[in-house]
Structure 1
Amino acid sequence: MIVVLTGGTGGAKFIDGLRQVIAPEEITLIVNTGDDLEWWGLYVSPDLDSITYVLAGLLSKERGWGVKGDTFYCLQAMGELGQPIWFHVGDRDLAVHLLRSKLLTQGKTLAEATNEIAGKLGVQARILPMSNSRVETRIGTPIGELSFQEYFVQRWYQDPVNSVRFAGIADAEPAPGVIEAIKSASAIVIAPSNPVTSIGPILGVPGILAALRKTRAPILGISPIIAAAAVSGPAGILMAANGLPVSIAGVAQAYQDFLKILVVDTRGNCSTPDWWFTLLIL
């Protein structure tokens, strides 16, 4: 079994390729939920949705999120009713949020709701949220603390970042199956997701980092940084705010407690002499 720790956008692109060469039923995904939010009274889990959609063949590759070919009639109507519409939710996407919220209201856990939604969409891989507990990534800026979606989507990550924290992380527990998957994995991959706000919350859930340190499975990371810049999004900004170099070395530093292999692009600076793991330069 291949276990992948992943966020949404960058991770979804990797998983789209992985499912072409590994049978989906041999893949387990442990997915960041620090970006989750309540929107129009519904529970939205953007990274879980992106991973579910890509495995179901539904992800819009043009946008990198949401359902391909989706319409936005509800979004338009909500705007006409004076409701906030900065977080774009398509109509088919909205159906998933409605079902998830219904299941959670009925007493299902986030993991149970995720499994039910994935099954209804024909997904054969196993998708696990990092935790059933509510963990929220909070971004400190000069105008105050923002949720990740406020910082990333509403404000287009234009605000200087003073701090990053994960509210609720100390009391969170790994979702059922997460630790067992790490223990039984034949290999573990850290997807090319944001090391701070996509992989960071997963590693911050008590018990997950310890399990990664103990596992005998090889752990391979894929750098989301090429030539001292993020492939997409605010990864570089957030790494710098967390005191990490915006480079391959910064990715290595973020994962130094457990990483065995790091996959990097030839455009990266691979000259650091004291790395303690293998580099695969592609």
Structure 2
Amino acid sequence: MSSANQPRNVVALSGGIGGAKLALGLYRVLPRGGLTVIANTGDDFTHLGLHISPDVDTALYTLAGLANPVLGWGRRDETWTFMATLERLGGDTWFRLGDGDLALHVERTRRLAAGETLSRVIAGVAERLEIAARIVPMSDDPVRTRVRTAEGELDFQEYFVRHQCRPVVTGMGYAGAQNARPAPAIAAALADPALEAVVLCPSNPYLSIAPILAVPGIREMLAATAAPVIAVSPLIGGKAVKGPTAKIMTELGIPVSPAAVADYYGNLIDGFILDQRDAALASGLKPKVKLADTLMNTLEDRERLARECLAFASELR
């Protein structure tokens, strides 16, 4: 558990698996109720008539101790009867939904159709799963990440899952962002006098964090908060631990370097956690830098990196 000199309340901006790993570390070392996770919903889409929220669900399953330890997404001990039957019937099976996972999608879709907000649905699910943290969508309004490629514009899940990130990326957009509003809980979390750190988790900056920042008002709230804002590098030795971050940066003509990520966040961040394997780059970075081992293979790794983030926040304050 946290010691007396560590932050009491922390807000984490998170995308998929990498972000959820650090969120879990923070969840375990902070006091009960001390964490708010703002989850990317740019990946959300409608599939088989169901509202799917991949990054939200990864956060839910991870903090509830239900995540698949091998895949990182979906539920542990999952069964696949639904998908096998759907395939036999000639249905669309490129996006796999496990039997247990399917229940969440059905219930979310039902409650949204009944008029509940996404925020309320997620809060209700988190309570049912006995999660003592707030998991908040970036917006209750639809925002959809669109990937422009050499083969045309694709919905994010089409690019990421159906095409396995193979098309060459030429740009990105966040449809609906200009008309979206931050989820109501975000303003309260970032204005909380007890807030002592904001952590941009090591998620893909362009696919996971950028959609959150594209919602009008969120960037301004982050800039206005008195708490230090810290970003954790998603790159180690010029490579992403998981996902297409390095591939996308290369295709967009961006140097595959933590320095480019730090520059992308710019004045939004007060500090940058750089992997110790990239220590030679530290002197060239503009924000204040802390070196740490950012590879999170084990639960102990996640807790250790979370403590490094909290200690860095204390230094910056």
Q: TM-score, normalised by structure 1?
A: 0.96
- Read off the aligned partner of 2:249 and give its amino acid letter: M
- Read off the aligned partner of 1:107 and give its amino acid letter: G
Counterpart CA distance in 2 for 1:132 and 1:244 is 32
Q: How does 1:14-29 map to 2 (within 5 A)?
A: 14-29=22-37
* Structure 1 residue 4 displacement after superposition: 0.3
Counterpart CA distance in 2 for 1:226 and 1:273 is 16
Residue aligning to 2:134? 126
Say which of 156, 168, 172 aligns to 1:148: 156
Q: How does 1:9-48 map to 2 (within 5 A)?
A: 9-48=17-56
Say which of 121, 128, 137 aligns to 1:113: 121
8 Å contact kept, 2:259–2:284: no
Counterpart CA distance in 1 for 2:171 and 2:165 is 13
* Structure 1 residue 269 displacement after superposition: 5.5
Residue aligning to 1:59? 67
Say which of 7, 13, 16 aligns to 1:5: 13
Say which of 245, 259, 271 aligns to 2:269: 259
* Structure 1 residue 23 displacement after superposition: 2.6
Counterpart CA distance in 1 for 2:186 and 2:212 is 10
Counterpart CA distance in 2 for 1:109 and 1:179 is 17
Counterpart CA distance in 2 for 1:7 and 1:24 is 22
- Read off the aligned partner of 1:7 and give its amino acid letter: G
Counterpart CA distance in 2 for 1:233 and 1:158 is 12
Residue aligning to 1:205? 215
Give the SS at the match of 1:188.
Answer: strand
2:57 is equivalent to residue 49 of structure 1: yes
* Structure 1 residue 279 displacement after superposition: 0.8
Residue aligning to 2:287? 277
* Structure 1 residue 180 displacement after superposition: 1.9
- Read off the aligned partner of 2:174 and give its amino acid letter: F
Residue aligning to 1:194? 204
Counterpart CA distance in 2 for 1:148 and 1:241 is 16
Counterpart CA distance in 2 for 1:197 and 1:158 is 15
8 Å contact kept, 2:262–2:286: no
- Read off the aligned partner of 2:215 and give its amino acid letter: V
Counterpart CA distance in 1 for 2:253 and 2:280 is 20
Q: Flag structure 1 segments of 5+ consecutive residues without an equivalent.
A: none
Moved more, 180-189 or 90-99: 180-189
* Structure 1 residue 237 displacement after superposition: 2.3
8 Å contact kept, 1:189–1:221: yes
* Structure 1 residue 241 displacement after superposition: 4.3
Residues 26, 96 of structure 1: CA spacing in aligned structure 2 closer, same or farther, 3 A cutoff? same
Residue aligning to 2:80? 72
Higher helix share: 2
Moved more, 180-189 or 198-207: 180-189
2:184 is equivalent to residue 176 of structure 1: yes
* Structure 1 residue 250 displacement after superposition: 1.3
Say which of 232, 250, 256 aligns to 2:260: 250
Counterpart CA distance in 2 for 1:151 and 1:167 is 15
Equivalenced residues, count:
282
Counterpart CA distance in 1 for 2:96 and 2:55 is 14
* Structure 1 residue 83 displacement after superposition: 1.1
Task: Supply the RMSD in Å over aligned alpha carbons.
Answer: 1.3
* Structure 1 residue 213 displacement after superposition: 1.1
8 Å contact kept, 1:262–1:280: yes
- Read off the aligned partner of 1:128 and give its amino acid letter: V
2:208 is equivalent to residue 227 of structure 1: no
Give the SS at the match of 2:266.
Answer: coil
* Structure 1 residue 240 displacement after superposition: 3.6
Residue aligning to 2:311? none
Say which of 64, 80, 91 aligns to 1:83: 91
8 Å contact kept, 2:274–2:282: no
* Structure 1 residue 24 displacement after superposition: 4.1
Moved more, 246-255 or 99-108: 246-255
8 Å contact kept, 1:239–1:250: no
Divergent runs of 4+, >2 A: 237-245, 269-276
Say which of 165, 171, 181 aligns to 1:163: 171
2:145 is equivalent to residue 137 of structure 1: yes
Moved more, 135-144 or 269-278: 269-278
- Read off the aligned partner of 1:44 and give its amino acid letter: I
Residue by residue over 1:15-38, the C-alpha shift from the partner in whole angstroms, topping out at 9 and shown as x without a partner, is: 222222113411001000000011
8 Å contact kept, 1:87–1:154: yes
* Structure 1 residue 152 displacement after superposition: 0.8
